[in-house]
Amino acid sequence: MTELEKRPAPTRPGAARRAAGALLGYAAVRALGLVALALWSAARDKSAYPLLTARWDSLWYARVAANGYGYQVRLPNGDVHSDLAFFPLLPWLERLGAALTPLSHADAGFVVGALASLAAAWGIFAVGDHVYGRRAGLCLVLLWAVLPVGIVQSMAYSESLFTALAAWSLYAVLTRRWLTAGTLALLAGLTRPVGLAVAAAVWAAGVAAFVRTRGPAAAPGAPATGRAPGEGARCALGLLLAPLGAAGYVLWVGHRTGGGPFGYLDVQAGWRNGFDGGWAFARFVAAMFTSFPSALAGLGLTAGVALVIWLYVVGVRRRLPLPLLVYTGVVTALALCASGYFGSKPRLLLPAFPLLLPLAAALARRRTARSAAVLGVLAVASALYGAFWLNGSGPP
């Protein structure tokens, strides 16, 4: 048993008090982003709210919530955009919200996103606190909030919901709560295709725990490595549950489309989306260097990818817990190696919050005034960029 696993989890009232500062800070950053968006939109004689609830993917989710699956659009070039590409948990929650309240499906999606973002912030804090302590947990939450595309956390999108489920599943794994971890991984798998990353993290931790308990006996005076009574059965059940959400939806899509186990891949192909190891993305970035103005964007993209890879390597070198490394590695690989929607990659990396742990630990070691100043500048920059982005091209 590692030192991380031996650290007791706070009780529920204690956990809420411990996370209060992180949640208040997170809410303040998100409020700043929404205020900036409202002011920027008003200056352009536009309403900010539809940008959050009635454009891009949020329209597809609300349509599924209202009418179920079966809608598709055939483009002039022959591509078919089917709503089967969108996993069902967010539309289910939107439908439930609209049924229980006077809200529309889009409004319910906004409420779900707002509540899920707070749950995600709490889960991220719990993970950071468990690994590096309370101050690092606070910095980790605020770094996640001030990401350049952090405004997506306030949209009727599935990123916040998925991140909440992933973060709490990872925390459950770190604290050896296998049934909770497996159940949350199942729900994450019903939220986004990358839910398989959460299942992979649960499996990696479960297998590692099994290997440790079957290893050589501990020396006298060393920490015990055995399981608690009944933990083996709970671990096995958690591992069984973890992949069922993603696997179940993918198999259902295959049955509905007649495409068999690979039917979901055919649906994604209709959106020109797939997995090619990053070859198409590399060509996209390389093409930017053919002219001067776009070369600056190419340099920015290259630097961003290099930063992501460097942060992951730092996490490996610092021996972050195995489930965090597995989860982050899968999320990052799927985001960077997808063959389509290159502008979506920053958004697809939003759930990879453990990448920020080395930065959070570094900020936590600085004086409070210095850390606050850095985070404050980043919060303002994120709010302005989010307002500019949503009033322009926005998230594809």
Model pLDDT for residues 218-251, shown as the tens digit of each residue: 444 434 445 667 788 999 999 999 999 999 999 9
**Cα separation, 139 vs 372, whole angstroms:** 9
The 3 state secondary structure assigned to 364-395 is HCCCHHHHHHHHHHHHHHHHHHHHHHHCCCCC
pLDDT classification of 5: cutoffs 50, 70, 90: very low
pLDDT classification of 395: cutoffs 50, 70, 90: confident
Helices (H) and strands (E) in the chain, counts: 19, 2
Q: What is the pLDDT of residue 347?
A: 93
**Cα separation, 91 vs 228, whole angstroms:** 39
More confident residue, 338 or 251: 251
Listing DSSP states for 251-271 in one string gives HHHHHHHT-GGGHHHHHHHHT
Whether 2 has a pLDDT exceeding 70, the answer reads no
**Cα separation, 330 vs 194, whole angstroms:** 8
Whether 356 has a pLDDT exceeding 90, the answer reads yes
> Is residue 78 packed enough to be buried (19+ CB in 10 Å), middle (13-18) or exposed (0-12)?
exposed
Whether 207 has a pLDDT exceeding 60, the answer reads yes
Q: What is the pLDDT of residue 293?
A: 79
Mean pLDDT of 361-384: 96
More confident residue, 341 or 351: 351
Range with lowest mean pLDDT among 61-70, 87-96, 201-210, 229-238: 229-238
Whether 214 has a pLDDT exceeding 80, the answer reads no
337, part of any domain? no
Mean pLDDT of 9-13: 61
Whether 30 has a pLDDT exceeding 70, the answer reads yes
Q: Which of 77, 261, 67 is nearest to 59 (CA)?
A: 67
More confident residue, 296 or 169: 169
325, part of any domain? no
Task: Look at the chain and report how many structural domains it folds into.
Answer: 1
In the DSSP assignment, the letter for residue 272 is T
327, part of any domain? no
294, part of any domain? no
Q: What is the pLDDT of residue 3?
A: 43
Q: What is the pLDDT of residue 285?
A: 84
Calculate the average pLDDT of the chain.
91
178, part of any domain? yes
Mean pLDDT of 118-122: 98
Residue range(s) defining the domain that contains residue 171: 13-215+229-272+368-390
Whether 372 has a pLDDT exceeding 90, the answer reads yes
26, part of any domain? yes
What tokens does 102 get?
Answer: 């006077």
Whether 396 has a pLDDT exceeding 80, the answer reads no
Range with lowest mean pLDDT among 55-59, 74-78, 205-209, 277-281: 277-281
